[in-house]
Amino acid sequence: MSKQLALVIDLNVCVGCHACVTSCKEWNTSGWAGPLPDTNPYGAQPSGVFFNRVQTFECGTFPRTETIHFPKSCLHCVDAPCVPVCPTGASYKREEDGIVLVDYDKCIGCKYCSWSCPYGAREFDEIQGVMKKCTLCIDRIYDTSLPPERRKPACVLACPAGARLFGDVNDTESEASRAIIDNAGYQLMPEWGTNPANHYLPRRKIKMTLHKDELVRADNPLKVEGELPKPHFNAPSIDEMSSW
């Protein structure tokens, strides 16, 4: 299989800190994909172009509630529905590594691709009049002027919880693939046949099983203190009834 770069996001450790959100904005606004403009930056109803958002969901009812922090950027779908619909060819999927990109010099800003993305991953830049989206930090990951260990997406480097893995999901030996295999990683809305390259790792719970007899131990300090109630010498024993 050819190379498919992607992110693997571990919901088990994501604390919803938004580091990936702003570090993405920060890297990309002054770089290849930038600027990412903000509208009403200091007024009512501010909004702006972000390639990555962290959403929050609640599941269940009190007290059995789970709070899920859910980061979402373009999933770089293998069968990306946003690509063929683009009338100009501005949206394309790179053969070399599966990254879905927009060529800003070709895009006419018709927004049609965004209608064909079920994940709501594209955002429109009103100033340049072009559609934008996560580039998988293509301008970092191949930049040979960066030290090799920093050739990773900005969001991945930022994430304090290490909840974002980056790698080739078609290479079963990559860290990203191993994480998917080992932790039942899954895709979003597989029913649409988009085959997203980004995967999510589910919550995993650690429980503790205790047996009653583990609570008391021979060297129990209460015993050392002489506080464990000892049965009285005269208390009934089996001697009264045994007959061997």
Tell which positions 30-59 bind other proteins, by CB under 8 A.
30-50, 53-59
Tell me how far, at minimum, the Cβ of 234 lies from other proteins, in Å.
25
Site string for other proteins, 172-201 (x = CB under 8 A): --------------xxxxxxx-------x-
Asked if residue 4 binds ligand SF4 (CB under 6 A), the reply is no
* CA R_g for the chain: 27
Alpha helices in 103-225 (DSSP H): 112-115, 138-141, 154-158, 175-182, 221-224
Asked if residue 151 binds other proteins (CB under 8 A), the reply is no
Nearer to other proteins, 54 or 174 (CB): 54
Asked if residue 169 binds ligand SF4 (CB under 6 A), the reply is no
Asked if residue 185 binds ligand SF4 (CB under 6 A), the reply is no
Pick from 36, 49, 80, 179 the residue near ligand SF4 by CB under 6 A.
80
202 secondary structure, DSSP code? P
Report the C-alpha gap between 204 and 100 in whole angstroms: 31
Tell me how far, at minimum, the Cβ of 183 lies from other proteins, in Å.
10
Q: HSE-up of 104 (CA within 13 Å, CB side)? A: 16
Report the C-alpha gap between 106 and 108 in whole angstroms: 6
